[in-house]
Amino acid sequence: MKKNTSRRSFIKKASLGSAAVSTAPFVFGAPQEETILLHRTYHEIDYAANDHINLGLIGAGIQGIYDTNTALEVSGVKLVAVCDLYDGRHARAKELWGDTIFTTRDYRALLDRKDIDAVIIATPDHWHKKITIDALKAGKAVYCEKPMVQKFEEGQAIIQAHAASGKVCQIGSQGMASLGNEKAKQLYEEGAIGDIVMLDMYNDRYSAEGAWQYPIPPDANPDTIDFDAFLGKAPKVPYELKRFFRWRNYQDYGTGVAGDLFVHAFSTLNHVLSSHGPNRALSTGGLRYWNDGRDVPDVTITLYDYPKTATHAAFNAAFRINFIAGNGGGGGFKLIGTEGEMEVGQNSIKLTRSKLGMVPGGYSLVAYTEAMQKQIKDGYAQKNLDTRASKLKTGTSTWEAPRQYKGAHYDHFYNFFEAIRGNKKVVQDPTFGLRAAGAALLANESYFQKKAINWDPEGMKLI
């Protein structure tokens, strides 16, 4: 992408306007304009039973259920098997999807089934590498929840297994395939914000559930849960229900706020900018409120450096997470450039372009005599910095998804299943997934080592 050409293209559209729904409005004469994003079309085919993609779910917890329900909205997909280490989730699977669903505690029994074409892996993070590789070797297409890996060094093995298998592998950061991401990428490449200088991402929460204090069912006990299997490669510890049901709170099984939340932002950011990611991170924070046994922070601030590349200027990114935000909660994701700001959501984009103040005002002129002030003002007036053309390029435009939009989560699974059928490529393959996860994991590395961490975004390794 040639940014100078793109910027001229955007400014030309801003001056002339456009009638196309997919690109309008580019005229910023009004304070604010709103447009409906161009609706996506899907191949809604009534597949015969023999043409269904048979699906298996490995990890039937919260995200696994949401993933599977969304996957089953796509035409021609059928769930045939569910694996989980808690028996209560077997009962829930049959309640949701029918008594004929095969259930097991052993994911290998699911992978051995010849009638399964694809699997969703929604297990704790420390199981992602092992099960993903085993599934690919078993000839299954894989949808692996983010983050793709718990440790940096696990990623290359998944990339290699994926290449050797010839099977489809999608990493599950669902916002990737959204209408919002698609529009943000288009606007950025057309020069809507000029050169990027900063990314501001924050996520505030104010609830026990938002801080991962998930409920523990009364029937959970050593007989209904295979705790040893849950531990897997993790250090052996005594049986503890909190570790099983609230695994995100522990370094042994999860990746903290970075792996759970940062990775979504990096997926979007790297996609919009066609970037491979940052090369440095510095993180701070602490455990400020949720002293429930967890060993990961509940407040985190991480600063990232992105190097200059062919698709973007050098810039900085600020990621902020607060799990005890007394304001009640909220979130944001803003790309801030030399000529505008773009607030990106899965279903909407808000673009704001302001006029850069180049002419001095009363504040800086106060130190000069009246005669000198007039002379300075006349000098700036001759430079003609405050032109009508510059004013025409300012204002706010918002693009919203249409009411009938099925959502980013649906789009991500639709992309996955279309790739299995040979109609598309996945939008987040394991290489992309490692770059997103690797950037997120830098925050943990920096936080626990208490120093800045350097990263090679091309080679996807620590420096």
Q: Nearest Cα to 144, choosing from 154, 152, 133, 153?
A: 133
Residue 172 neighbours by CB distance under 10 Å:
24
> What pLDDT band is residue 145 in, cutting at 50, 70 and 90?
very high
C-alpha–C-alpha distance, residues 358 and 391, integer Å: 13
**What are the boundaries of each domain within the chain?**
3-36+177-216+254-400+430-462, 49-174
pTM, full prediction: 0.91
Helix (H) or strand (E) holding 294: none
Is it the case that residue 238 has pLDDT exceeding 50? Answer: yes
- In the block, residue with structure tokens 């959970």: 220
Residue 406 neighbours by CB distance under 10 Å:
17
Supply the pLDDT for residue 13. 59
> What pLDDT band is residue 64 in, cutting at 50, 70 and 90?
very high
Domains 3-36+177-216+254-400+430-462 and 49-174 share a fold: no
Is it the case that residue 28 has pLDDT exceeding 80? Answer: no
**Residues 176-201: tens digit of each pLDDT:** 989 999 999 999 999 999 999 999 99
Give me 102's structure tokens. 């095969």
C-alpha–C-alpha distance, residues 82 and 64, integer Å: 10
Supply the pLDDT for residue 348. 95
3-36+177-216+254-400+430-462 has which CATH code? 3.30.360.10
Give me 345's structure tokens. 């959501």
Helix (H) or strand (E) holding 133: helix 128-137
Is it the case that residue 114 has pLDDT exceeding 50? Answer: yes
- Mark 330-357 as b/e (b = at least 16 C-beta within 10 Å): eeebbbbbebbbbbbbbbbbbbbbeeee
Beta-ladder partners of 53: 77
Cβ proximity of 258 and 437 under 8 Å:
no
Q: Where are the beta strands (DSSP E) in 184-298?
A: 196-204, 280-286
| Sheet of strand 102-104, all strands in order from the earlier edge strand to the far edge | 102-104, 77-83, 53-58, 118-121, 141-145, 169-172
3-state secondary structure of 344: strand
Burial of 284 (0-12, 13-18, 19+ CB in 10 A): middle
Is it the case that residue 26 has pLDDT exceeding 90? Answer: no
Cα–Cα distances (Å) from 26 to 6, 39, 263, 343, 391, in that order, read 14, 19, 31, 16, 13
Which one has a higher pLDDT value, 48 or 453? Answer: 453
**Residues 71-108: tens digit of each pLDDT:** 999 999 999 999 999 999 999 999 999 999 999 999 99
| Sheet of strand 32-36, all strands in order from the earlier edge strand to the far edge | 32-36, 395-400, 348-353, 341-344, 330-337, 196-204, 315-322, 299-306, 280-286, 453-456, 461-462
What letter represents residue 142's amino acid? Answer: V
Residue 262 neighbours by CB distance under 10 Å:
33
Average pLDDT for the chain: 92
Topology of domain 49-174, CATH: Rossmann fold (3.40.50)
Mean pLDDT calculated for residue range 56-69? 98
pLDDT-wise least confident of 169-173, 191-195, 237-241, 377-381: 377-381
